[in-house]
Amino acid sequence: RSREVMRRPTATGRPCPPLQEVGVCNAGGCASACHMTQWSPWTRCSTTCGLGDRQRVRLIQGEHTGLQCPHLREVGRCEGPPCQADCVFNELEQVPHAPRSEINRCNNTPSGRFCNVQCDPGFWQTRPLLCASGVISMPTCDPRPCDSVPHISHSGAIRQCRGYRRGSSCRVTCDPGYHPVTSEVTCTSSGEFSPGACDEIRCKHLPNIL
């Protein structure tokens, strides 16, 4: 800043003070621009099929003052292969030995997935309901086999009977000195064999001793 002399000093007067004064300004320093890294690669698409989103980011390098930095994240659209249709049905054919409520429960099964059903007593699921591109493959319920081995005293484990289907009969063999009360045991609807027994062979006549 500056000022002017209004009146000059006389021969014996004091000299005039400085007419200019300099001060410091912008003590905070000059504003600096943002220095950014390059964009990162795009992330994977948020969906495996159809439309989705992807994003990429960048970082600020060093220090900056004053100026606002541009955005650090960018979101873009992406598209995968067409999505396969889910299995939606109004009413399906009745599956033998499976309640209709179990079939209806599998409505809206996503494509590529399967749905397990609970079969009627005495039956088990041998194939689930499968949805493939909107096409339904129906489940099947078959007679439940007897997975356990009949345990009959004095006969040992009759291992050859394992896996018999409902209504099938398996021959009973007893240990030496015993005979079967029933010649066969039958696989029941519960998945267990009917009871069987082996009795001890007893002599019916007295020995003839001379």
pLDDT in the model for residue 65: 64
Pairing of strands 51-57, 35-36: unpaired
Contact 45, 11 (CB under 8 A): no
Task: Identify the three-state secondary structure at position 102.
Answer: helix
Question: Taking the mean position of all CA atoms in its chain, how far away is CA 69?
Answer: 41
75 CB-near residues (< 8 Å, 6+ apart): 53, 54, 55
At residue 74, the pLDDT reads 92
pTM score, two decimals?
Answer: 0.41
pLDDT of residue 18: 83
Cα gap 91→138, rounded to integer Å: 12
Q: What distance in Å separates the CA atoms of residue 83 and residue 11, rounded to the nearest whole number?
A: 103
Neighbouring C-alpha atoms within 13 Å toward the C-beta of 192: 6
Per-residue pLDDT of the chain (210 residues; tens, 9 = 90+): 888 877 777 777 778 888 788 877 766 656 567 888 999 999 998 887 778 899 999 988 877 666 678 888 999 998 887 777 777 777 777 888 888 888 888 888 887 788 899 988 878 888 998 888 777 888 998 887 787 777 788 887 677 787 787 778 888 888 888 888 888 888 887 778 888 888 888 877 666 666
Cβ–Cβ under 8 Å, residues 86 and 92: no
Helices within the chain (DSSP H only)? 100-105
C-alpha torsion sign, points 143, 148, 153, 155: positive
